[in-house]
Chains A and B, each alone.
Chain A
Amino acid sequence: MDKKLIYLDNNATTPTDPRVVEAMLPYFNQFHGNAASRNHPFGWKAEEGVDEARQQIAELIQVDPREIIFTSGATESDNLALKGVFEMYSRKGNHIITLKTEHKAVLDSCKKIEKMGGEVTYLDVMDDGLVDLEALEAAIKENTILVSIMYANNETGVIQPMKEIGEICARKGVLFMSDATQAVGKIPVHPKELGIHLMAFTGHKMYGPKGVGVLYVNRKNPRVKVTAQIDGGGHERGMRSGTLNVPGIVGMGKAAKLARLEMEEEAKRLSQLRDKLESSLMNNLEEVYVNGNRDHRMPHVSNISFKHVEGEGLMMTFNQNIGVSSGSACTSASLEPSYVLIALGLGDDLAHSSIRFSLGRFTTEEEIDQTIEQVTNGVNHMRDLSPIWEMYKEGIDLDAVEWSEH
């Protein structure tokens, strides 16, 4: 009865690669110095570790190491980029453009900026989750200082046309920032080729540790600056004070190196497993919908709606041993289904019926085969229980039913 645990929630967080853990360990007690201690070997050793990590991360995204600012994670990086640009460039303008499908770290920072006197445009996306480039261009005004568009969406894996967005921003003379948390380390991400001036990402989505992140800040053409949001000792070129998390940074560096060397093969393997998962579920079951653009998508993500089945209930049929996420409201305290899926034009009912599968480095084919079997059985169980599935099967038009909303 005891089944092996299967982790398919790698967009939430990835396990730390054992090779990363190994690289970090000496920095807890052997080389425990403060990287800012310039006058003794303890500090030098810590600084060496940080320098190497900065180099490894710079190599992964093909930038100058001096353009890497260490933070506590992508949420802090997003906050620093948005609020830091808003403050630094307030004389140029106060308008920021972003998407309705951004992560809360971006959306809530924008909300805060609005309270601070800024103006924010939240663009709709098209039904496949992609930004409408014409609408983006049309939204840029005299007072626009920044466009913030995520690289790949956390719920659907949809990858935005970064190069085209970068060209628009360059033409219009506005800064381009991207939350690339879900993309870096999984697919090639080279901000300089794409015209991205600021880019946020984190260690724990690329098999590194939690509690460490990066904000990439372009140094030349244009030289971008952000106003620090955390004040103190003036670390990280004055943009982010606070003693550096040396073991975390060393771990993120190692994770970046491993990603650079292994991502191509890994992406190929994961997309095959992902495609197998999707096609098998679609073969086994009726009324299964894949959410988001399938051609412009991360290789390891699949967001699927199983019509007339509620997502959390479905998860309960297999969550004793399979870890996934759902866009159903029932998994959160808010009672609202996923705003990302709603922005894709899904009805509330399909959003409630969605499950996100995100595969990772340690996912095996055997695990995917087991998942296919357990999800298929779960959907069938839930549909046997579902009055609206029965009504749908009887040919009743569910939209014509007068429901008692509660």
Chain B
Amino acid sequence: MAYSEKLLDHFKQPRNVGSLDKDSKNVGTGLVGAPECGDVMRLQIEVDEESKIIKDAKFKTFGCGSAIASSSLATEWLKGKTIDEAMSIDNMDIVEELALPPVKIHCSVLAEDAIKSAIADYQEKNSNQEAL
């Protein structure tokens, strides 16, 4: 099966690979998937305290080319967005952008899960703060 140029580009030159300080209260971390399933994504966001805009995003992914490209693309899209805007990223946007074939749609679902999970982690950290 032939992959799209965009997908191959994200796979070969993945953007924003790495990690952020998971203990920082401005950082939300999502870890989704399982090694047994052949996909694990770790996606992190760093939210600017003042503007509440996502100022950085990083990822690492164990998985096929589509999984790696989906998470790379997700980090690119997340930067500069508010939490609300980030929440509205839909897996089908990723499918379209990378022209994922039907058998690879689950990779985009996993990327959306990773985004939601990272946001949930960030929100949990910060709501606790407010409660204190």
Contact = CB atoms under 8 A, between A and B. Distances in A.
Interface string B60-96: 1111110110000000000000000000000000000
Interface string A113-157: 000000000000000000000000000000000000000000000
A14 B55 CA distance: 53
A285 to B, nearest CB: 16
A2 interface: no
Interface size class of A (residues with CB under 8 A): 20 to 34
B32 interface: yes
A337 B38 contact: yes
Dominant SS among interface residues on chain B? mixed
B102 to A, nearest CB: 9
Contacts of A316: 3, 11, 64-65
Contacts of B46: none
Contacts of A352: 35-36, 38
B65 A313 contact: yes
**Residue among A337, A387, A405 with the most chain B CB within 10 A?**
A387
B31 interface: yes
A333 B104 CA distance: 9
A316 B109 CA distance: 21
B38 A406 contact: no
Contacts of B39: 310, 406
Contacts of A390: 19, 60
B interface, size bucket: 20 to 34
A405 B37 contact: yes
Contacts of A329: 38
B2 to A, nearest CB: 11
A347 interface: yes
Nearest to B104: A330
B103 A389 contact: no
Interface in A298-341: 308-310, 312-313, 316-317, 328-330, 333, 335, 337
Contact of A388 (B40, B67, B109): B40
A393 to B, nearest CB: 12
Nearest to B12: A317
A387 B31 contact: yes
A134 B3 CA distance: 49
Interface of B: 3, 11-12, 14, 17, 19, 31-42, 60-65, 67-68, 103, 106, 109-110, 113
